[in-house]
Amino acid sequence: MKKIVIAIDGFSSTGKSTIAKQLAKTLNYIYVDTGAMYRAVAYFALENKFISEDVFDKEALISRLGDISITFKFNEAVGFAEVYLNGKNIEADIRTLRISKFVSPIATLSEVRRKLVEQQQLMGKDKGVVMDGRDIGTVVFPDAELKIFMTASAETRAKRRYNELLDRGDQLSYEDVLENVTTRDHIDSTREDSPLVRADDALEIDNSNLTIKEQLERLIGLAEELISK
Ligand code: DC
């Protein structure tokens, strides 16, 4: 059967990964969470003290990029692939507000982007992939057959992320989460290399008032129509 590439881009916490994961499962496609890859680099940078509240040693991080190996391994128990940094499962460690704070500056570095984009293109070269991120439809797979651009109000997104972090047991305030979401939107949309923009041929979905089921049904319909063409 014909396979396609599905690119899902959009602002932070728009629920891209929830939809992408379920879409991939339904179509029996591979799901790639590219945000997890940038988060893994941020984790490495924090661990090695290349970035902190007062330091951002870009040169030191860039010189060590060769020491970073990011892989995904499917976990049957949770039903999706978890991210590993140099063989260590860091899936839970990268979902903190601390990583969210440092990941956007890390993602501005062209050297980091080049390395990760190359790996992403390899992962999708045989198609049959659902990839979510910020530059999938514009840079990683500009020829993707189906491109989605997800949006929702900053407040809606912050509320969703806040509840997720609370469920994990993190201690934080809604205001901190809202501030992180809006700061990340700004850095991601205004950076020089591969800024977050809607590809001309992407379908924009504002999901502020849509349920996951509604979004999924719509995307499955679109994907199946393209696959059967
Ligand atoms: O999707 P996420 O929130 O896990 O992504 C974390 C950060 O990584 C996001 O703020 C910007 C960056 N990112 C990127 O620049 N390009 C991508 N394709 C994916 C994520």
Residues with CB under 6 A from ligand 1: 12, 34-35, 38-39, 103-104, 107, 133-136, 184, 188
**What is the whole-number distance in angstroms between the Cα of residue 229 and the centre of ligand 1?**
32
Supply the pLDDT for residue 24. Answer: 96
Supply the pLDDT for residue 229. Answer: 87
**What is the whole-number distance in angstroms between the Cα of residue 38 and the centre of ligand 1?**
6
**What is the whole-number distance in angstroms between the Cα of residue 15 and the centre of ligand 1?**
13
Supply the pLDDT for residue 83. Answer: 97
The count of other CB atoms within 10 Å of the CB of residue 121 is 13
DSSP result, 130-189: EEEESSIIIII-TT-SEEEEEE--HHHHHHHHHHHHHHTT----HHHHHHHHHHHHHHHH
Supply the pLDDT for residue 1. Answer: 86
The secondary structure element, H or E, covering residue 26 is helix 16-27
Q: Model confidence over 203-229: pLDDT tens digits?
A: 999 999 999 999 999 999 999 999 998
| Domain ranges (residues) in the chain | 5-220
Sign of the C-alpha dihedral, residues 105, 111, 112, 113?
positive
pLDDT band for position 101 (cuts 50, 70, 90): very high
Mean pLDDT value across the chain: 96
The CATH number of the structural domain formed by 5-220 is 3.40.50.300
Q: Model confidence over 143-177: pLDDT tens digits?
A: 999 999 999 999 999 999 999 999 989 889 999 99
Task: Take atom 13 of ligand 1 and give the residue whose Cα is closest.
Answer: 35
What is the arithmetic mean of pLDDT over 9-33?
95
Whether the pLDDT of residue 79 is over 90: the answer is: no
